[in-house]
Amino acid sequence: MDLVEFLRARLAKDEQVARACSGASWAAGSSGAVHLDADGEPALVASAETEAYAEHIARHDPSRALQEVAARRQIVDEHEKHAWIIAQGRATPEQQAAHAVREQTLRLLALTYAHHPAYNEEWRA
């Protein structure tokens, strides 16, 4: 599995998990409660030990996770598009340098998943 395949697989799983949750926004409530607004009635999502923990959980709700997946996919897509150009042998030195930066960006994105068994330590930035 190469770096692009690894990232695409991880992003697909992130998307699957986020979509399995409600699409409603999450909010931190008092006493560490995290809730969503479902049909006008607040529904408990999680209880956290502190309001700070609740705020952190609420800030990383499924809608945000889906936005992050979409943005990261765009980065991977750009990398693949430029990799194709370089593979055709028509890249300028500037394009090759920019591609090296994109490659480094993918390596940095992959660090999020360094705990995954398929992560390759050679990708570590």
What tens digit of pLDDT does each residue of 12-35 get? 999 999 999 866 788 898 788 998
Written as six digits, the tokens of 5 are 């395949």
pLDDT of residue 56: 93
Judge whether residue 44 has pLDDT over 90.
no
- pLDDT at res. 40: 67
Structure tokens given for 88: 């055709």
Q: Which long-range contacts (CB under 8 A, 24 or more apart) does 74-81 make?
A: 75/102, 75/105, 75/106, 75/109, 76/4, 76/7, 76/8, 76/11, 76/106, 76/109, 78/102, 79/4, 79/103, 79/105, 79/106, 80/4
Q: Please say if the pLDDT value at position 39 is more than 70.
A: no
Confidence (pTM): 0.87
- Residue 10: its pLDDT value, please? 98
Contact 116, 109 (CB under 8 A): no
